[in-house]
A and B are shown apart, each in its own frame.
Chain A
Amino acid sequence: MTSEFIDELERRIGSEAVVRDQGELLTYESDGLVSHRSRPGVAVLPQTVEQVQAVVRACHEADVPFVARGQGTGLSGGALPHPEGVLIVMTRMNRVVEIDIPNERVTVEPGVMNLEVTRQVAPHGYYYAPDPSSQVICSIGGNLAENSGGAHCLKYGFTVHHVLGAEAVLPDGTLVHVGGAAVDTPGLDLLGVLVGSEGTLAVVTKVTLRLLRRPESVRTLLAAFDSTDDAGNAVSDVISAGIIPAAIEMMDRTTIRAAEAAVQPGFPDAEAVLIVELDGHQAEVAAQFEQIEAISAKNQGWGVQVARDDAQRGRIWMGRKAAFAAMGRVSPSYYVQDGVIPRSRLPEVLRRIRKLEQDSGLTIGNVFHAGDGNLHPLVCYDDAVDGQAELAEQVASEILSYCLDVGGSLTGEHGIGADKACHMPKMFTDDDLATMQRVRVAFDPKGLCNPDKLFPTPRLCGEVPGPYRAHPAEAAGLAERV
């Protein structure tokens, strides 16, 4: 990165929006995947779309790579800076542009926090459905880039189901409007591919979201099981009964104990707990809740807790959402994995993970979105013990291969980013990846927009993914992981 280029950026958007101090730039050297670090050549903090365009145009003219970053809570290194590039930090673009209740829409800038959207519309009886566990501190721009999910996506889908339109700056600086505010916009579904493209196609500067009415009734149940098989069977029975709960979450003994140590949610000491939440029309919820209770009993569920009020529901969810951070109480370090399996294959995959636990000697905690088969195994290790970090990483990789063996996916919600780009050939053929590249070059022929992410490259894949360490925001208690 030449100082002439940085001077040029200052001329175009003003020096107060440009960070060139090497010390200050360290703030941005990683996102939530702190094992990957790289100081950006320069960082910019635009406040307007014109500034974003000016920066991207400058990059385009000078062939300088650029990476957009939101709150930096991502867990796959999607916002890892390029050492010779510009980091476009979107946090100052955090205005709520329009709240349109009659149309059940809200338009926000990308730096607006996920939970803030719901806060803004809650007085009208609405909410924004996608709820990643980091929703207090993660921004909508990052949610769009990663197609974020959350505990409730079993019933309500992911970010892609709730974004109707986006204003975006293409990699040549052109401003475009993808999708719109209406439910359909004619043309190729560019929005469908932009959402989840991990910042590799454009820089999003405004987003129109669909709002949902608060359901009339919400009921939450927690049940304990003497084996993860029983809990898994209960999940299967719920699905077979034709019930789609808002959420079904499972925790195993390791993570239950960790959560209990950290936030005392009052979970039973069991091999597994299930948290099942139903929402919707009151009569429907009531009838289905009875079915859930019966299914739990049939599968030897015990210690059933039914949330009587919002406070108790909040406590149950706090226990679930604290599970990741809580692992810090039982292990000095841990590697968090994000894999997906067909939900019916849960028992066999868990058995393989348990065998791996015994063989490797490392403790593996399991928390998962059981309803949709999204696993988050937590591989515990001690940095102080020689070779354990490497072993943990091998174990985490091994678990991914179990997911792929049963037809699953490398990632359900954390993204490929820099972390898993080298794993992509395990899931996709060269032709699959080349087809995706055709989309990439249609948007970004120069390959300047968040390069070295998502796709395997020799430069990238010579490096080895590192172990998990707590993100500064997480360590400070500001964030939790899904």
Chain B
Amino acid sequence: MHDAEGRRAGGAADAVDGVVPRWVAEPASQEGVARTLTQAAADGHSVLVQGGGTKLGWGPRLETIDVLLRTGRLNEVVAHRHGDLTATMQAGTTLAATNERLGQYRQWLALDPPDSTRATVGGILATNDAGPRRHRHGAPRDLIIGMTLVRADGVTAQSGGIVVKNVAGYDVARLLTGSFGSLGVIVDATFKLAPLADASRTVVVELSDAPLVAAYATDLLSRGSTPAAIELATDPLRVILKFESLESVTAGQAEEAMALATSHGGVGQLLDADAQDQFWTGHERRVFAEEGTLLKAVVMPADLASSLSWLDEAAASRGLSYVLTGQAALSVLHLRLMGPAEQQAALVSAWRERLTLGRGSVVVRRASAELKALTDVWGPLGDTFEVMREVKRRFDPRATLNPGRGPGGL
């Protein structure tokens, strides 16, 4: 039986992480989301929010699910104001569908996190997930300009607006970005967009060791090169550059990058248009689409080379293997780690010990139940954790919204 909100009893097909939800709600409107949350609050039910479901394995292990709220029916591009370079999407719209629509005017939502055909705007915001071109365009928190959200008590609120420049009121939209659904359910979001580039070229540079990788990246950028992405990858160790601009500009910059590779003792390879799409898909899948633990580590840019060298040694000595990609200049690393869980836990804790709070972090994203039991998935959150806890308490006093899934287990 469905009610107006598409609410029905959960079945085996709805299971998340092996847990069958008692109820599944698929509201088709903002009002429907509000009614679902009001009902859940009245029933004392907890609510788990699901977009594309690509990141439901992140965070702590689920015990029970009272209400699974799916955003899949909220899947419209509400407005594309192409003259203003902004667009508003409902939370359940996938990134791929969004960009297909925006592409009609040669614009895009400049985010390229993994799994764009399944990952939704709401899920990408909730996790502040970004990809290679974060180097040029920033993360979701940098691009969001407005949001409609429904609080745990069913009250709908807006933050920001539809203009790119706006300092009226607290930036609640930014606060919800990266909150892992712990503060409210995102119904729709407005972003500033970027124009699609005329041309694009990819250069893959193989280098023999981590210090060379760091030196090459620094040298390239100090010469005025302006890649849209400057990625790292291991096995083999390499730097991958994506240039996006006018045809003549990308050609010139790619050539400069190739020449510089040679002078750093590396081997550069220029990919043509078809080859590069395939390459980038493969680059993403190597970490995100295969089995293993998923870690996100952030280090200071000047520590990139030493971190990579340490990691190599630390993994080998514990009998672990890994595949790594990441944004070189930002020093954001994504690792897929394989090997015994207790050794993985030991590596995570050894890495955290190397890092000063605020100058680096290691977060366990996807992991086996065994590893999640052995390690704190978030690691230390510093002296603001009490404030975070207070924010959570004020937004969701009964802790019914995505319980335990917020940062630090909020």
B-contacting residues of A (Cβ < 8 Å)? 100, 102-104, 125, 146-147, 149, 153, 157-158, 160-161, 165, 170, 174-190, 192-193, 195-197, 213, 215-217, 236, 239-244, 280-284, 287-288, 340-344, 369, 372-374, 407-416, 420, 424, 427-429, 431-436, 438-443, 454
Residues of B within 8 A of A284 (CB): 226, 245-246, 249
Residues of B within 8 A of A409 (CB): 161, 163, 165-168
Q: How far is the CB of B164 from chain A (nearest CB, A)?
A: 5
Instruction: Pick out which of these stretches binds chain A: B152-160, B201-209, B277-285, B340-348.
Output: B152-160
Q: How far is the CB of A408 from chain B (nearest CB, A)?
A: 5
Q: How far is the CA of A428 from the CA of B159 in the complex (A)?
A: 8
Interface string of B358-401 (1 = CB under 8 A from A): 11110100000000000000110111111110111111000000
Q: How far is the CB of B92 from chain A (nearest CB, A)?
A: 22
Q: How far is the CB of A350 from chain B (nearest CB, A)?
A: 15
A-contacting residues of B (Cβ < 8 Å)? 81-86, 106, 128, 138-139, 141-142, 149, 151, 155-159, 161-172, 174-175, 177-179, 182-183, 194-198, 221-222, 224-226, 245-246, 248-249, 252-253, 296, 298-302, 330-332, 357-361, 363, 378-379, 381-388, 390-395, 406-408, 410
Q: How far is the CB of A251 from chain B (nearest CB, A)?
A: 18
**Are A439 and B394 also in contact (CB < 8 A) when A186-B379, A409-B166 are?**
yes
Residues of A within 8 A of B408 (CB): 186-187
Question: Which listed residue (A188, A431, A440) contacts B406, Cβ 8 A?
Answer: A188
Question: Which listed residue (B162, B300, B390) contacts A407, Cβ 8 A?
Answer: B162
Residues of B within 8 A of A170 (CB): 387
Residue with the highest number of chain B CB atoms closer than 10 Å, among A240, A374, A442: A442
Q: How far is the CA of A196 from the CA of B86 in the complex (A)?
A: 21
Q: How far is the CA of A214 from the CA of B385 in the complex (A)?
A: 36
**Contact yes or no, A236 B388, CB < 8 A:** no
Question: Which listed residue (B158, B174, B393) contacts A432, Cβ 8 A?
Answer: B158
Residue with the highest number of chain A CB atoms closer than 10 Å, among B168, B171, B182: B168
**Contact yes or no, B167 A415, CB < 8 A:** yes
Residues of B within 8 A of A236 (CB): 83
Closest 9 CB pairs of A and B: A180-B358, A242-B195, A216-B224, A344-B83, A192-B174, A102-B302, A435-B157, A409-B166, A438-B394
Question: Which listed residue (A185, A196, A216, A342) contacts B84, Cβ 8 A?
Answer: A342
Residues of B within 8 A of A186 (CB): 361, 363, 378-379, 381, 407-408
**Contact yes or no, B175 A193, CB < 8 A:** yes
List 19 additional A-B contacts (Cβ < 8 Å) besides A192-B177, A412-B166.
A125-B222, A176-B387, A179-B358, A181-B300, A182-B358, A184-B296, A186-B381, A196-B171, A281-B225, A282-B224, A287-B248, A340-B163, A341-B163, A342-B81, A342-B84, A429-B157, A438-B391, A438-B394, A442-B390
Q: How far is the CA of A432 from the CA of B383 in the complex (A)?
A: 28
**Are A283 and B249 also in contact (CB < 8 A) when A103-B302, A244-B195 are?**
yes
**Contact yes or no, B391 A442, CB < 8 A:** yes
**Nearest-neighbor residue (CB-CB) of B243 within chain A:** A281
Q: How far is the CB of A346 from chain B (nearest CB, A)?
A: 10
Q: Could you give 6 example pairs across A and B, Cβ below 8 Å?
A: A184-B332, A188-B179, A188-B392, A193-B175, A240-B83, A413-B165
**Contact yes or no, B165 A369, CB < 8 A:** yes
**Contact yes or no, B158 A429, CB < 8 A:** yes
Q: How far is the CA of A464 from the CA of B31 in the complex (A)?
A: 37
**Contact yes or no, B249 A281, CB < 8 A:** yes
Q: How far is the CA of A179 from the CA of B196 in the complex (A)?
A: 32
Q: How far is the CA of A416 from the CA of B169 in the complex (A)?
A: 7
**Contact yes or no, B163 A103, CB < 8 A:** no
Residues of B within 8 A of A413 (CB): 165, 167
**Are A149 and B165 also in contact (CB < 8 A) when A179-B358, A183-B298 are?**
yes
Residues of A within 8 A of B331 (CB): 182-183
**Contact yes or no, B224 A215, CB < 8 A:** yes
**Contact yes or no, A439 B156, CB < 8 A:** no
**Nearest-neighbor residue (CB-CB) of A440 within chain B:** B170
Q: How far is the CA of A410 from the CA of B171 in the complex (A)?
A: 14
